[in-house]
């Protein structure tokens, strides 16, 4: 029954997506829109498969920046969030700055990264980290705020040390918030890498887009967009799977509620 319920939920958007692609193909065929303006889905598919090896090489470069940026953002967000939770004056000083920092567009910071660190891998990693850090830090701080103080007091009465309190009370409460932020960060991470590559790179999906656009190969541009979308979905699902493995109690609660 659960399997059929999942199929029923996922079927309408899939049917609607197929309908949109079909209408796009039909309109492109009827109106004869030039390919350099709006290529038909069939042309995009041919571009995707014709350049699959080249796209794979550029994708590997982009994923390297994504992995490095995500790792840096996760480690920094965890350390800073734990520090803000432990020392309230630090939170009062830093939290407003975190919020205000989101008013600065990444397109304004990315050129500075290129000026300071060149056009290698490091500035792309830093740009991805900047894009991913905010949702991770804010969600983790919010999760730590939701910890029941009475549970912490009970653990202290039972002579539990700080590490045991963190492991038994704080982490289980904060982890759903952390993985919610990580889903957002993982989705944005590819966009951050693309922005860095637009501003200066030798390889990557961003530079592949720019070269294709400058050559009026619009089909190749759309093919790279398809790859970016698939990468974002893949990272989202990977984070979802890690969340499922890290929080088995949520699955048990969900199964219990369904029963």
What pLDDT does 21 receive? 87
What pLDDT does 251 receive? 58
Grouped pLDDT means (10 residues each) for the chain, 259 residues? 59 82 87 85 90 92 94 92 85 81 77 82 90 89 83 78 77 87 91 87 88 89 92 92 80 48
What pLDDT does 257 receive? 45
Q: What angle do CA 80, 83, 89 make, to 5 degrees?
A: 110
What pLDDT does 256 receive? 41
- Distant-in-sequence, close-in-space partners of 9: CB < 8 Å, separation ≥ 6: none
pTM for the full model?
0.83
- Distant-in-sequence, close-in-space partners of 164: CB < 8 Å, separation ≥ 6: 155
CA 126 to chain centre: 15
Alpha carbon distance 209, 1 (integer Å): 44
Alpha carbon distance 102, 187 (integer Å): 17
What pLDDT does 189 receive? 92
What pLDDT does 32 receive? 85
What pLDDT does 202 receive? 82
């Amino acid at each position: 029954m659960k399997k059929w319920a999942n199929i029923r939920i996922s079927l309408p958007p899939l049917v609607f997506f197929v309908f949109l692609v079909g209408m796009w193909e039909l309109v492109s065929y009827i109106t004869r829109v030039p390919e350099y303006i709006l290529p038909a889905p069939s042309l995009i598919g041919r571009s995707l498969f014709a350049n699959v090896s080249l796209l794979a090489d550029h994708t590997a470069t982009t994923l390297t920046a994504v992995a490095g940026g995500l790792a840096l953002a996760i480690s920094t967000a965890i350390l800073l969030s734990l520090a803000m939770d432990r020392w309230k004056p630090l939170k009062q000083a830093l939290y407003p700055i975190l919020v205000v920092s989101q008013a600065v567009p990444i397109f304004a910071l990315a050129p500075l990264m290129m000026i300071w660190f060149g056009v290698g891998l490091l500035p792309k990693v830093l740009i991805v980290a900047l894009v991913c850090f905010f949702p991770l830090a804010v969600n983790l701080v919010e999760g730590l705020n939701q910890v029941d103080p009475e549970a912490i007091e009970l653990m202290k009465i039972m002579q539990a040390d700080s590490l045991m309190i963190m492991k038994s009370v704080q982490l289980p409460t904060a982890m759903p918030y952390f993985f919610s932020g990580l889903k957002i960060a993982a989705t944005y991470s590819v966009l951050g890498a693309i922005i860095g590559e637009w501003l200066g790179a030798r390889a990557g999906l961003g530079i592949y887009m720019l070269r294709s656009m400058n050559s009026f190969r619009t089909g190749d541009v759309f093919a790279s967009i398809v790859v970016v979308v698939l990468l974002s979905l893949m990272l989202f699902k990977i984070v979802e799977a890690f969340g499922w493995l890290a929080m088995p109690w949520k699955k048990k609660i969900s199964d219990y509620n369904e029963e």
